[in-house]
Structure 1
Amino acid sequence: LDAENCTEEPFRHTPINSIIRSSTTGKVDVYDQGGFIKILGSSQEEFKNEIEALKEK
């Protein structure tokens, strides 16, 4: 396979343990290998609080 000729979407098959992406609502969807975890608040303070809550579980 010639790497120079590989023009497919480079991220489609990338093995990423955790993917954080912005959704259309402005919230942040957090995924890991287990699938959808939680929708975190869009503000930095809410985000920090949600992370702390997840750590405590």
Structure 2
Amino acid sequence: METNHLIIALVLIAAAFVLFILIRKNRKDQKEFEQKMNQESIDPEHHKEEKI
């Protein structure tokens, strides 16, 4: 059975593209999460019933 190098190349390119998209989305999500956590530490949530 002869291997088809074109199919192997296409699969490798597709896998690299999917990996690139996942890494890019993960970085974006991580930045949004860090911004959210930083904002919550700067402006903590206030409760109306809490009396100090």
Instruction: Write 1 or 2 for the structure with the bigger share of helix.
Output: 2
TM-score by length of 1: 0.26
Instruction: Write 1 or 2 for the structure with the bigger share of strand.
Output: 1
Largest Rg, 1 or 2: 2
TM-score by length of 2: 0.29
Larger relative contact order (Cα-Cα within 8 Å, sequence gap ≥ 6): 1
